[in-house]
Each structure stands twice: as structure tokens, then as C-alpha cells.
Structure 1
Amino acid sequence: MTTILETNALTRVVGGEPIVDEVSIRIDEGAVLAIVGPSGAGKSSFLRLLNRLDEPTAGTVTLSGRDYREIDPQTLRKRIGLIPQDSALQSGTVRENIAISDRIRGEPVDDRRVSELLEQMRLTGYEDRPITDLSGGERQRVSIARTLYVEPDVLLLDEPTAHLDAATEATIEQLLADRIADDDLTCVLVTHDTAQAKRLGDRVVEFADGTVVAEGEPDEVLS
């Protein structure tokens, strides 16, 4: 397999304490890497370093063999898209949120792509609905569609089904699984749910105290 994203001794120090400590991992193209570990282990902090939402103190990240500091941050975040735990949508309609990247740049909206994503996320007919009228699960589906709209090389998922009821969680997980399979997506998934890590992950990394303590096949790490 081809490595698309790689970190080497990636470190972030805050207040004199390393919250991500010399993490070196490789993510292969078309694979799903699940990251598990207790609260405060550095999982989400590591995820934010992967597209420079936070800056590393030391170490490197390479995207397709290129140091990501050589890539314009806006371009980088288009290529490495993040779906946060909180959907963090803007005011306006579903359509406006999905195509927000084009709206910000003043470019024409790709209505075909919007319609395709609405269908994939089971939101057909929602395009003109205000974000304020949506449930938590519907908002998260819009958040996923917004990130997929720009067709990222790597999809970062930070607890994508947290704080949702069991039925909604199952729906969103299945929608993600469908997109991963159909579009051959490369994903880094942070989850507290080890069963979800087993279901979606090709490989699993376990974090503790900001560093990797185990890595391997899901059944090996999560036995």
C-alpha cells in the first residue's frame, strides 16, 4: 500500500507538558486508522496537528511525501478535512453549509455535488432547510457532507457519533462505512468506542499520556 500521511516524532507541548509526545505513525491510502485511548490521552490533540489546526512543537507531518509546512494551510485543510465532534455549522441553509467552501471563495456552487451528498447522507429535500431546524444527528450528517464536498485526500473524524442516541449513532456510522467503502476513503478516526474502532478500523493505535502504547490489527490491540 502507498503511504499518504505520515508523522515522525510529532510533538506538541503546552504549558511545559507534552500533550502529544513523539508520535510516529503511517496511514496508508484507502485505509482507516482508528485511534483509541482514555480521555486526556492526546487523541484529539493529535488529530488537530494533522492539518495544522494546532502547530506542532517538534516533529514532522508529510502528505504524499511532502512536508505539510510547504503547503498553504487553506489548501492543506481542504486536502485533510476534519469532521469535529461538534458539527460547528454556520447559520443559513443546509445547501449553504455544504457548499460553504465555494461560497467563501466566491465561486459557483456545484449543485450536482450537493445533490449527490444530500442523497448519500439521507438528506434529500433538506437543501433549503435552516440549520437551526435540524436535529443533532441531521447536523452531523450536514457536517460530514460539508467536509466531503471538497473531496479531501484524508478524512479526520473526531468522535463523529459522540453525544448521539444509539439509533442515530448507528445511522451515521453506517453512512460513514458506506462512504469509506464506496469512495475508498482514507480516514483517521478518533473514538472512545472500541467496538466502533473494531467495526470501522483497518488498524488501531492506542494512545496514553500523549504517546502510542499499542498499534496493530483491531483484534490484536482491542482483545
Structure 2
Amino acid sequence: MRFKDVENNSTIREIGPLFCRLGGSGWHINVKLKPSQKKQYFGISQIPVLARRRVLNPTAESLPAGFLTSISIEDTRTWKSGLIKSCPISAVNSREDANQWCFVFEHNETQYFLPQLELARVLFFHYAYLVRLSLVHQGLIQDFDVRRIDGVSKVLVDIMPTSSLPLYVRGDHALRRVLAWILLDDDARRSFESIARHQLQDGYDIEKYRVWCFQFDPPLLQGAGLTFRGHYDRNKKIVFCL
């Protein structure tokens, strides 16, 4: 993807809060780039490809940044929520996006700080449509009618006439698989719908804008494997996930 008004080989340094003009529906997200430039925010439809340390408009192939690690999730109900500024790694907690939310948990005697937006991006935000839908209160109900036939063996999903699902992606098999998981798995659906709920509960108005630091309730993910890159402090045994 090529980004307009972004210099070649720009690296994403920080990902800040989301904002929307009061009375509008067009959400954007604050992003700080290196080198510093006039472009300081993107539309939320671009969240699927926005990640810290990712290089935008590269002129050559770039290597993934950060320490590579993998974990097996036991139960996300033991995870806590904390701000980036609570991470003991000084290079992390001193940044301008320090008020963004993370999931904080331990695994094999190492403490992890996982930005909540990053987990949502991996789980749900594979397509711009899903990002936009997640911020609509009762968006799933407005776009889809789910009817279970013969108990749980068969399900019929109707796309409502008011659905915002673009026509050209309705035949996309990968998108349909993600949608099926969100619509039919009660735990995934609860997690997806918590995004809009947190925005309504925790967002705040400043002058002409609605501002919100992204937060959501994760699905249980019991037994799931998670692989990511991060900033690893060996002495403190702490990982900040990118």
C-alpha cells in the first residue's frame, strides 16, 4: 500500500488516540512518523496495515523490527489493563503515546505489555470494513441477521439491506471466514462488540472532536499461540510488544 503525503521509508514511531469530529462518523488515528513530517494522522480504514516500527512507502525490502518471541495463551481473564507509561522500559514509557492502553500479563517469568489496538488488529482488523463496523454501536445487528437452524448444526446469515458491507468484497472467502467467527462465536462477538461500548463509555469530547484511547475486552483465546516482535529488556525481563 502506498500512503499519500508520506515520505518514502518512513517508520511508524507511535500510535496514539482515535478521534472523530463531533456529529460525524469519519474516525482517524494519530500516528507519529520518523522522520517527522506534516502527516500526523490516518483514516481508521488504514489500521490493518499500521503497526509500530513498520516502514511505510519502502523503496527496498525492509526486515521486521524487534525481538521475536512466541507464547501460548492460558486465559486472557488473568490479563490486566495498563497504560504504556506504566511499562518500566524507559525508551517505551517516555513516548508521546504513553497514555495508550496495553494488556499486561506474565508468561514464563517475563512480563508482557501488549498494546490493545495491536491485538485487535491481529484478531479482527484484517479489513477496513471490520474496523469501521467495530466502532458502530450494535453494528453487527444492523448489518447481519443470524438465524440458527436445527439447533447449532446450521446457521443462516442474512445481509441486511442497510448493511455497509461493500458489494465487491462479499465474495471474499477470507473475509467471510473472519465474519463467521465474529458472528457465530459468542466469545469473539462479545469481544468485537466491546470496542464500540468502550468508545461510548470512555471516549471524551474536546472542542469539536470526540477522542478515545483504544480499549476492548479480549476473547478468552485459551490454548491459542501468539507470536510477535517487541522491545525486550533482558535485565528487567519485560517485553513491550510492537
Q: Which has the higher helix share?
A: 1
Whose radius of gyration is greater, 1 or 2?
2
TM-score by length of 1: 0.27
Larger relative contact order (CA 8 Å, sep ≥ 6): 1
TM-score by length of 2: 0.25
